[in-house]
Amino acid sequence: MSTHRHDWHTFEGYDGGAHHCRKCDRHHQGPTPEAHDCPVSDAEHNAVAWLGQAGLYRTRFDAVRNCEQAVTPVSAAELFQLASKQVATQLKKERKRA
């Protein structure tokens, strides 16, 4: 069982309300549940890319379609760091050629 919290959004406020988790798309009718059983972590929900053994992917689906066994969510800051390292490596290679 996961320990991630749901990101509940109440869209009907009567009879306890109807709630929707923005992370896992779970729906609940009645009072907001207190359970911390969301299968989606904040990192997965906020990922701008996914890193697999063969490289970087736009979506988790793209990674799975490319037969990746394990992928890691990448935040915007991490993506910027990866891109910066890649550019620095390419610049070093170009300088060695010149």
Are the CB atoms for 42 and 50 separated by under 8 Å? no
pLDDT for 2 equals 61
Which one is predicted more confidently, 80 or 42?
A: 80
Q: State pLDDT tens for residues 4-60.
A: 888 888 887 666 788 888 888 888 888 877 767 888 887 787 788 999 999 899 988
| Alpha carbons 2 and 36: distance in angstroms, whole number | 7
DSSP 44: H
- Reported in sequence order, the residue ranges of 1-98 that DSSP labels E, i.e. its strands, are 8-12, 18-21, 27-29, 49-52, 55-57, 72-74
